[in-house]
Amino acid sequence: MSVWGVVLAGGGGTRFGGLKQFAVLGGKTLLERVVDIAAERCDGVIVVLPAGHDWRGKGVRTTGGATRAESVRSGLAALPDDAEIVCITDAAHPLATPVLYERVIAAVRAGADAALPGLPLTDAVKRLEPAPSAGAEILGLAGATTPAGGSVSAQMPMAFSLPVLLRAHEQIADAVEDSAMVSAAGGRVVVVPGEATNVHVTTPAELTVAHALLPLL
């Protein structure tokens, strides 16, 4: 089954304070790191970039849209006709290992409509409610509590049966991420073991964490 990767790098980096996909980690940009690993495990890679930005690295370039879903659809439209499985990731997960790509791809090859890595939560999750005095030292009021047991933090990369993902995008305009769209469209989404070192880089502090973790991989 032909496997292609779609690397999302079209965001504006609001929380990071700039285009984090071009921030440097261990001598390479985050985007370069992700594309290199995706290219190891996929037959080809589509790189979704912000409008007006070029890319001289590996992969086929395309331009992202105004929303995450639009950027994904731009990447899907650039896939070749023989693609059967698509592995979607983003430049914010530069430390995901080749083994993690293999896990999600293998799960789809085995019959799942989609597969994502999950890291079991060890702390209870609190919903934040608005607080009039919320600021630097107060994030909000504590709302409902979700116990840690039985929940995971969803990671990237995620793998999908391409026909299933395309149908999900035809039915659903947008979602937090693509596995949610597949689930809402009736698809079977499985969770494989994630990696504790697969940090999600959204802020400069998380990039510092990635620098500290890099020698451990």
The per-residue pLDDT for range 25-45, each reduced to its tens digit, is 999 999 999 999 999 999 999
Which is it for strands 158-161 and 85-90: parallel, antiparallel or unpaired?
antiparallel
Provide the residue count of the chain.
217
Q: What average pLDDT does range 172-195 have in this prediction?
A: 95
- Residue-level pLDDT at 70: 94
Cβ contacts of 40 within 8 Å, gap of 6 or more: 98, 101
SS3 assignment, position 146: strand
Task: Indicate if the pLDDT at residue 134 is higher than 70.
Answer: no
- Residue-level pLDDT at 114: 98
Cβ contacts of 205 within 8 Å, gap of 6 or more: none
Which CATH class, in words, describes the domain spanning 3-119+152-216?
alpha beta
Distance between CA atoms of residues 182 and 179, nearest Å: 5
Helix (H) or strand (E) holding 193: strand 189-193
- Place 10 in a pLDDT band, splitting at 50, 70 and 90: confident
What global pTM score does this model have?
0.91
pLDDT higher for 142 or 111?
111
